[in-house]
Structure 1
Amino acid sequence: MKLTASIATLLAVTLFTITDAASTSKAKPLHFNLDANPSYRRNATRSVLRARGKYASHLTGLTEFSRPGAVAMADYENDIEYYGNVKVGTPAQTLKLNFDTGSADLWFASTLCSNCGSKHKKFNPKKSKTYKKDSTKWSIGYGDGSSASGTMAYDTVNLGGISIKKQGIGLAQRESSAFVSDPVDGLLGLAFNSIITAENFKTPMDNMISQKLIKSPIFSVYLGKQAKKGGGEFLFGAYNSAHVGGKLTTVPVDKSQGFWDIKISKMTAGKSSIGSFRGIIDTGTTLLLFTDEMAAKVAKGYGAKDNGDGTYTINCDPKKLSPLVMTINGAKFQIPAADLVFDKIGNTCYAGFGYAGLDFAILGDVFIKNNYIIFNQKVPNVRIAPVK
């Protein structure tokens, strides 16, 4: 999912960019370190719109690190999205991509594109010795009206030193205006391949597993907060215990719809108590999005006001709010009161939760920033612990 600087952007995607790193041998864990970007401008409404489009069928500045295998990441506009540099082709061309657990496609701007943004880095297939053309077409659309389409191909994709041979890549030939103005060049999906747009192509994670480039079929996510100087890490093939602040709880995943879908047995939001529901863990969505009915209960618990566009206004003083608590497979995970206040414009504050007309919830970055998550694609399951 691709996240823009606004809410629609927020819900749609979380970006993770990979920068230069020394090449790593097979089976070595891959790290993606995230750094915060001090630029700031947020919009809750667009995030809701983006999420609606992404799940439409269910509607009811970078700093280098010296550690081997580490890649610096950027936090765009105060935790709206995270992105990193991915190297494609031989010699490598570096692109800013959004790492998104809510989608499965790998695509980016290319020199074949007639209207891609002038600020985007465009992959040039003529400059890659390992590029192989393919005739398969792809097309992606989002609820806020943004879209992209193009043709598939194969090339070497390097993620922080791990070189994936013959990886399927989507070369954009057209982008809508929303993508043209986006700070990233494309998207790297980390959901299951059953929802990949281009059939018969494998996701980067699939290929890392089949090519035995990582020891374990896992990747782990730590997202930092701008309020705490940002930072963060994506790690492939292992997890980083330095970010684990408590006991890891193993949670089964239902991948039947292609997403990282888990069950939340109970949730307490202020004065409201909500029973069991299902939620998708999505690094490409900024907010916590609930079904319309659930969102109304959460809002009532915090005395929040419905803005009629999927967002809520909320008390600006976190001291007058209590944490939102989710019980997942017997363990409790909190969203602190401070993170329930997503944005402040003048004297008006917008909540870190909303709704998008979906029949399930989305556990976006508001949840992920507070909990370290290990994704196991083979089982499948996730392991979650409070972040340290």
Structure 2
Amino acid sequence: MKFTLVSSSIALLVTALAVEAAPGGKILSVPLQTNGNYKPSIKASLAKVAAKYSKHKINPLLNVPGGLASTEGTGSVPVIDYEIDIEYYGTVSIGTPAQNFKIDFDTGSSDLWVASTLCSTCTTHTRYDSTKSSTYVADGRTWSIAYGDGSTASGILATDTVTLGGLAIKSQTIELAKKESSSFASDPIDGLLGLGFNTITTVSGIKTPVDNLISQGLITSPVFGVYLGKASKNGGGEYLFGGSDSTKYTGTLKTVPVNKSQGYWGVTVSSLKVGTTSVGTSFSGILDTGTTLLIFTETIAKKVAAAYGATDNGDGTFIISCDSSNFKPLVFTMNGSTFNVPADSIIFEQDGSTCFASFAYSSGMSLSILGDVFLKNNYVIFNQQVPSVQIAPSIDQ
């Protein structure tokens, strides 16, 4: 899911993925770039996340499958984060010859869409030009996306070769934007590549890039590992398709079943604590590289805030003490294992003498989103074939 947050002068969108194949495959390198001009509004961003997830009703996570298939091989791809871990995006090539785009990788959605020359309002972005690609094939179907703040994007479908770091996915369905509202103009990305399951594509029946990487034999194991670095620890990061990188985590990987019935990487959080103080039990969550912060239900968020002495701004965000020395870690329990967000990650941003918490809520949401505040503290291997994840503390925790 593409979800951004801003507190005062900052934008908090984060998503990223760069990948590398398992042994026998080619190396996929997706170097990430940054843009400091991206500053959306916090209220609009909260509306976007509520609207996007409300499109697909989220049910309690029942009858989740267990286990995780063993991976074959690893791959290393360096990435760069934007300022204080605000946004990650990588270069994806589309067409023959290649046209390069800054693409947001998002485990909370499943579409691949990009600005195109059919769009007269997309001039701030690099636009895909179908007339310059010998592998372009028209589709004719239409697509559209609407966000809660009124911003929209729409266009037509096509297929073309999509290249991720040297691996060419043939006949990949892409969504070409013909229209986008003015609110997208300041967004640094040219498009978005979803890493969720194919049941939530905007147009039904479309195979995702991950589907095609697997079916076309471009990777030998249906997994991708995600390591997001912290700006406070020299930033960077690493993303892999087809394997995991044991140098990016400590301790033992713990398996957590995933419920993909709603199309997301859904998990059950059996317990949430601030230190030893319980603030939530048995709730549904989504692992989402496209969300910067931790987004809880209003009830849980206010309990978390109370435990940290934070003040509700009334818009879903919280003011929190700038002194974290007495903070306790935020502890998630999933499938019997605990995973931490340490005290130094509870403060997300400081604006003068005011600090903003790294957790928030969106009124009316019935689920929680474990965004990059969780993911940059915990290394996660996503397994698409056996819906599950493996999690271990990140080396940056």
- Pairing partner for 2:284 from 258, 278, 291: 278
2:381 alignment partner, one of 365, 368, 374: 374
Q: How much does 1:146 deviate?
A: 2.0
Helix, strand or coil at the partner of 1:276: strand
2:126 paired with 1:128: no
- 1:320 shift after superposition: 2.5
In 2, the alpha carbon distance for the partners of 1:78 and 1:34 equals 15
- Tell me how far 1:171 sits from its aligned partner: 0.5
Report the Cα distance in structure 2 between the residues aligned to 1:157 and 1:297, rounded to whole angstroms.
Answer: 45
Greater Cα shift, 69-78 or 210-219:
69-78
Q: Distance in 2 between matches of 1:195 and 1:140?
A: 12
Q: Which residue of 342, 347, 370 corresponds with 1:336?
A: 342
RMSD: 2.7
1:42 shift after superposition:
8.5
What residue in structure 2 maps to residue 14 of structure 1? 15
Instruction: Determine if contact 1:26/1:212 at 8 Å carries over to the other structure.
Output: no
Q: For the Cα contact (< 8 Å) 1:288–1:365, is it kept in 2?
A: yes
> 1:174, 1:73 → 2: CA distance?
31
Q: Map 1:26-175; keep pairs closer than 5 Å.
A: 27-28=25-26, 30-32=28-30, 44-57=42-55, 58=57, 73-116=79-122, 118-175=123-180
Task: Give the 5 Å matches for 1:161-310.
Answer: 161-270=166-275, 271-310=277-316
How far 1:15 moved relative to its partner? Answer: 4.1
Q: Could you say what secondary structure the match of 1:206 adopts?
A: helix
Q: 1:24 to 1:381 in 2, by over 3 A?
A: closer
Matches of 1:99 and 1:261 in 2, distance apart?
A: 18
Counterpart code for 2:301: A
TM-score (normalised: structure 2): 0.87
The Cα shift of 1:77 comes to: 3.8
Q: Report the equivalent of 2:370.
A: 363
- Paired residues of 1:31 and 1:236 also in contact (CA < 8 A): no
Letter in 1 for 2:140: S
Instruction: Give a deviation string over 1:274-301, Cα, whole Å, max 9, x none.
Output: 2121110000000101111111111111
Q: C-alpha deviations, 1:93-138, integer Å up to 9, x for none? A: 000000000000000101011211x331101111011111110100
CA drift of 1:237 comes to 1.0
One-letter amino acid of the structure 1 residue matched with residue 144 of structure 2: S
State whether residues 102 and 191 of structure 1, in contact with CA within 8 Å, keep that contact through their aligned partners in structure 2: yes
Offset of 1:59 from its aligned partner? 9.2
Measure the CA separation in 2 of the matches of 1:55 and 1:219. Answer: 23
Instruction: Give the structure-1-normalised TM-score.
Output: 0.89
Tell me the distance in 2 between the aligned counterparts of 1:336 and 1:369.
11
Q: How many residues align?
A: 376
Would you say 1:319 and 2:325 are equivalent positions? yes
Residue 352 of structure 1 and its aligned partner are, at CA, apart by 0.4
Output the CA distance in 2 between the equivalents of 1:6 and 1:147: 20
- CA contact 1:37–1:77 (8 Å) conserved in 2: no
Distance 1:184 1:25 in 2: 31
Superposition deviation, residue 73 in structure 1: 3.5
Task: Supply the distance in 2 between the matched residues of 1:385 and 1:17 (Cα, whole angstroms).
Answer: 19
Contact 1:17 1:97 in 2 (8 A): no
CA contact (8 A) 2:33 2:80 kept: yes
Q: Conserved in 1, the CA contact under 8 Å of 2:152 and 2:181?
A: yes
1:65 corresponding residue in structure 2: none
What is the Cα deviation at residue 50 of structure 1?
A: 2.7
Q: Secondary structure at the match of 1:275?
A: strand
3-state secondary structure, aligned to 1:76: coil
In 2, Cα distance between the equivalents of 1:214 and 1:76? 28
1:17·1:96 contact (CA, 8 Å) conserved in 2? Answer: no
Unaligned segments of structure 1, at least 5 residues: 61-67
| Contact 2:222 2:242 survives alignment (8 Å) | yes
Contact 2:280 2:300 in 1 (8 A): yes
- Give distance in 1, aligned partners of 2:80 and 2:133: 26
What residue is the counterpart of 1:2 in the other structure?
Answer: 2
Q: Secondary structure at the match of 1:227?
A: helix
Write the letter of the residue equivalent to 1:304: A
Identity of aligned residues (%): 54
Preserved CA contact (<8 Å) 1:110 1:122? yes
The 1:70–1:191 alpha-carbon spacing in structure 2 relative to 1, beyond 3 Å, is same
How far did 1:349 drift? 1.0
Alpha-carbon distance between aligned partners in 2 of 1:80 and 1:214, rounded to the nearest angstrom:
29
Question: Residue 173 of structure 2 contacts residue 207 of structure 2 at CA under 8 Å; is this kept in 1?
Answer: yes
User: Contact 2:26/2:166 (CA < 8 Å) preserved in 1?
Assistant: no
State whether residues 31 and 234 of structure 1, in contact with CA within 8 Å, keep that contact through their aligned partners in structure 2: no
Q: Which amino acid letter does the alignment assign opposite residue 197 of structure 2?
A: F
Indicate whether 1:387 and 2:388 are aligned: no
Supply the AA of the counterpart residue of 1:56: S
